[in-house]
Chains A and B, each alone.
Chain A
């Protein structure tokens, strides 16, 4: 038994007990408790094991700076690793366990590591485990490392995100933040005030310290009541400001349900706020530093400020026999409060020989023994502190002369305060070292203010003045002795802990310095100082101070490492927010999605669109279905939804001239009502897109793009127009999603089209190939083009998206007489491979030049410049041995199509070696009864008829290089 609960005081409800479990054992706390406060009140002292040596550890802090009491909370899908117990609020049934001990905290087997401590100092692993190889040792190291366990199941909770624009955002709910909020709100501004935990008032919460003539707890309650009644004020508890980003953006993580039993929470678990404020005030307080001395990590050694917080917030006295060791005034008040609460203060050990007379007088009044000019030499005890050895301390931090032993079960340490400058530093703010305070304090920066402890101002009067936008001289603040570590013999002590969680000692810092890891970043990386889950909140400044002492350099010459977001570890889920599942990238659906599904379509995602791959009937494989669909189109008529085909309207007096500059092909010679296939390059000369350009009128074009590429082409058009050819009068609009498109293809397509209720004349030669007509189908406006990607007579019919149903109804009705067959993307691809039609993005990649795909001649004939032309004619583009697109037919008697992505090797090689090219498209041709493929092959066009070996994952095939087009070379089928 050590810590215990008072029968009064603290912001807890003693009438509402809460039962919870720790390490499988039952305990009881109260509403208002945290896991840390409830266990402290229950007398539990050892609460964790350290990362490396598995030393027994106790609670040292009352906030997010806690390095030792790290827990695994809950079980199953909601289990959460690595939570800091001072921030885990109790709820009925809470079940928590330590993270770094097996089988239990008491019997932790890896505690054996400590026996080898002298052989495994910081960074020992760089010097060892090389023989025979690292792989032999690594699994053991990995198993021993790590803190908690990740859940094994998907997170059942969801997370919200929101943005806020506000006049004033104040981070920190201590008296500085409260006063600043009150001041800003009184002037009518919208104010948001956030605090990380459940309490308001920061370190003064629950205390009787006087603030403007009132006990702090009354002052806090009064201000809160006022703020709560103001409609322009938003008060948020359980909200941590995690990051301070460019241009003043602050991210907040609000915990909405973590304090409730998992079954009771509804709605999102946490919410990410992105806040932009006209004025930002950082009132984040300060973090108390431990003293660095031998055994300072024993359970029962605690930060003085933390003991005071547990007393006032939770009514818990952290120990019965208390020694307080300090470098400054603040710990004296902890001693006074604990004494008044009934604890036995064995003594105050202050490194200063002459603290202020007022403190001494009050201590004497309380009967507290004083040990001035002295410091703790060593905390004694194993699983808990039982005594402390103290002695005279020299200026260099060395214990001199005889020591004496004070028995205690609680040793409070107070090494001074470090302003919580994290948010300031994240935004690029600079720091300077304040010698009076012994801490790094923020330099004034643009765009926000730091006040109170965060600014290194520990005086109430000046803090409140700053909160109200006034300046006041700090009347008094803590006067610190400089003491970064306490040693027995002058050498940094390898048994004095600096970073508790990562097990970094003063001796480790000396080792790093000895080995020339003297930059503060080297020190951090070499020893892992400050890299634990508290990110060095209690350890960084001590570490820097010790390094400065070792190097004989002032601490400001050492500097700090960078403070990185987030302020406290934050779940990935809250950053992902709604971007889970389909929310990550919504799938796009076709106009006739339901129709396709009703016809048994096997949907797959192509370029972001869910499209029918094929329509397998009962008993059919996808390949069977594709073959049936191809044959149906080749012999009758099929219907394909082509809505994702990009459609861009280009209009204006300079539209034709503009498109001439954008396409390899000449567009300006196109007559209204006619279509032309064209390819477009990037300015680097590579093939960017292809499609059919239709001239609707002299100044009006409809540009087709590949599916899923319309936005990119539109962007490219606009960038050229807005940034380069700014005087061209051209408008560009992507209308892809405005028009649904049915493609009907096959020898019976004309008959089908003519059976539609349309005013477009498709009789005889009235509507030839590569022309377009504007008219109506069933009363809906329609744009119809005679273009073909299958090689068959084909109509591409576009109607307004919402009229797609009518169009399909009309086609199905008229198609009944022609056995109209729906076909999917794979059948379309098979037919275009039979025809040898290029598919940009499949047959080309970002290295393909137009001359590689047979556009050399067209480029030569065009005299004007166009985007990409010059680049395509650099020396590398003129190489005769470039790859070019060719056809392949197999010669190995194997009926299986070649694998797309298989490679073509030089003829005559039977061994793997760098290839001549690769298969870009491949399919079984049901029309020809053979497998067909297209490929990019080095000098391919010059190697017609050559037989080449083909490699695919160790399997060899053989094929002959052929022309691209394998079916209906004359194109007679295009007219039915």
Chain B
């Protein structure tokens, strides 16, 4: 595998860039693997990479229904942050962020993680109290967090509306938060996993499972049956569909989450901004596009397309923050399908079928968790026990009621 560097680009430049090898091989499925991962998105590819790298298991197939990175990994708004309230979430997401910080060099693939900071705002007295509660929780959980009053927020983010409908009374800044190039995360993990011998198999849909005495012994695919006793499932958005093929249900509902980009602009926003009042959040990509997101569509959906009502709400939220963006133009809108869980916390770990492990329930925030989600799933698949960072995210919490309700703790419900 050619090592990527400025030097290798220069060298290739003298031969018309014709010397590059495929970033990953298109493997044909074999009859048996030690481990099979369903889903060639960020989580699935990261799982394969960590299985190979950390646990020395290289006899792995990643089965992707379409093209790798084509689900939510390639459809999100690319925000990476770990501004969570409960210790279990904080530990997990901050581990993800830490892995992200070293990922470009670990994978030898520039994922362009840009730590330009992530802000969220408080708009009324109660919001200020809850924001303060969050900042303190983050600090006590060992996550970087700063509390700033409204004047400081406006000074730090030039161009914010001085008199918005929802006043900005305070802001929470996580300086290590930021954005990364989403596709590159999938491609980087794919290339590195491939380099370690992992088979990446595209256009391969898993249509069923071979289950004997409650234990998985193989998967049925559109490209033939594969025997294996260790399966990881990382198909967020379609987790319920895949679970049904394995004969169980999940506490998950699929919704469309939309995203929007503007035409490219010269640099105008140097951080990531979230306004809880409207749910609108945005950043500016390296290409210059404003990348904007907001709330879910309000009904269950598997349609990866945009809708008008959410666009109208999002545009209004955007303009309340930055009224000068009213004349900026929307270039493209689309949607991803997300696994919504009642407590906004992922599900990691065992499923009702032995040997089949879950990585799902990411809600709207799976991208930021990719390294940790893959790392913990790999750990569980390799060792048969949950990684301590993921132990609280088991399916069992829906029975016991030990939910880790991040949305409720943010106080938005009232």
Contacts and interface: CB of A to CB of B under 8 A. Distances in A.
B137 to A, nearest CB: 7
Contact of A572 (B9, B108, B329): B329
Interface string A445-477: 000000000000000000000000000000000
B306 A154 contact: no
Find the residue from B147, B288, B403, B409 having the highest chain A CB count within 10 A: B288
A662 interface: no
Interface in A123-144: 124-131, 133-135, 138, 141-143
A119 B113 CA distance: 23
B155 interface: no
A922 to B, nearest CB: 9
Find the residue from A145, A245, A606, A684 having the highest chain B CB count within 10 A: A145
B98 interface: no
A707 B314 CA distance: 27
Interface string B156-168: 0001010001100
Interface string B311-350: 1111111111001111111111110000000100000000
Contacts of A562: 304-305, 334
B402 interface: yes
A842 B129 CA distance: 9
Nearest to B134: A901
A778 to B, nearest CB: 35
A514 interface: yes
A899 interface: yes
Contacts of A724: none
Contact of B114 (A138, A143, A155): A138
Given A572-B318, A875-B400, A135 B114 contact: yes
Contact of A846 (B126, B313, B405): B405
Q: What size tier do the contact residues of chain A reach?
A: 35 or more
B413 A846 contact: yes
Nearest to A686: B408
A377 B378 CA distance: 54
A565 B306 contact: yes
Given A154-B324, A511-B20, A576-B326, A915 B408 contact: no
A857 interface: no
A575 B315 contact: yes
Contact of B4 (A126, A251, A517): A126
B131 A913 contact: no
B140 interface: yes
Interface string A44-60: 00000001000000000
Contact of A576 (B319, B333, B401): B319
Given A516-B22, A525-B74, A152 B67 contact: no
B331 A533 contact: yes
A953 B172 CA distance: 12
B66 interface: yes
Interface in B41-89: 66-70, 74, 87
Contacts of A149: 265-266, 268
A788 B202 CA distance: 67
Contacts of A444: none
Given A128-B4, A572-B262, A845-B408, A952 B136 contact: yes
Nearest to B8: A127
Find the residue from A119, A126, A147, A899 having the highest chain B CB count within 10 A: A126
Contacts of B287: 145-146, 528
B385 interface: no
A154 B161 contact: yes
A498 to B, nearest CB: 16
B3 to A, nearest CB: 9
Contacts of B316: 575-577, 579-580, 584
Interface string A929-955: 000000000000000000000011110
A113 B17 CA distance: 17
A212 interface: no
B114 A585 contact: no
B332 A535 contact: yes
B351 interface: no
Interface in A87-125: 118-121, 124-125
B330 A564 contact: no
A300 B202 CA distance: 43
Find the residue from B14, B126, B147, B397 having the highest chain A CB count within 10 A: B126
Contact of B112 (A134, A243, A846, A875): A134
B183 interface: yes
A511 B17 contact: yes
B110 A684 contact: no
A899 B263 CA distance: 43
A118 B17 contact: yes
B392 to A, nearest CB: 11
B323 to A, nearest CB: 4
A805 B363 CA distance: 49
A817 interface: no
Given A118-B17, A134-B113, A571 B327 contact: yes
A723 interface: no
Interface in B85-125: 87, 104-105, 108-110, 112-115, 124-125
A43 interface: no
Contacts of B342: 684
A566 B312 CA distance: 13
Interface string A567-581: 001111101110111
B221 interface: no
A81 B328 contact: yes
A638 to B, nearest CB: 21
A227 to B, nearest CB: 28
Nearest to A684: B342
B121 to A, nearest CB: 14
B159 A152 contact: yes
A820 B25 CA distance: 82
Contacts of A134: 104, 110, 112-114
B133 A81 contact: no
A278 B68 CA distance: 40
B125 A519 contact: no
A845 B108 CA distance: 44
Find the residue from B17, B267, B268 having the highest chain A CB count within 10 A: B17
B288 A147 contact: yes
A127 B327 contact: no
A317 to B, nearest CB: 32
A661 B383 CA distance: 47
B202 A951 contact: no
B107 to A, nearest CB: 9
B154 interface: no
Contacts of B298: none
A709 to B, nearest CB: 7
Contacts of B5: 127-128, 130-131
Nearest to B408: A846
A507 B13 CA distance: 12
A249 interface: yes
Nearest to A950: B136
B34 interface: no
A903 interface: yes
A520 to B, nearest CB: 9
A13 to B, nearest CB: 29
A605 B147 contact: no
B165 A582 contact: yes
Contacts of B66: 519
Given A251-B308, A606-B125, A127 B4 contact: yes
A521 interface: yes
Contacts of A141: 286
B139 interface: yes
Nearest to A242: B330
Given A129-B110, A585-B165, A953 B147 contact: yes
Given A138-B286, A155-B319, A915-B136, 13 more contacts: A51-B264, A126-B109, A128-B5, A134-B110, A145-B264, A150-B268, A151-B328, A428-B303, A571-B330, A580-B320, A847-B405, A876-B403, A903-B136
5 contacts: A151-B324, A511-B17, A573-B315, A582-B165, A584-B278
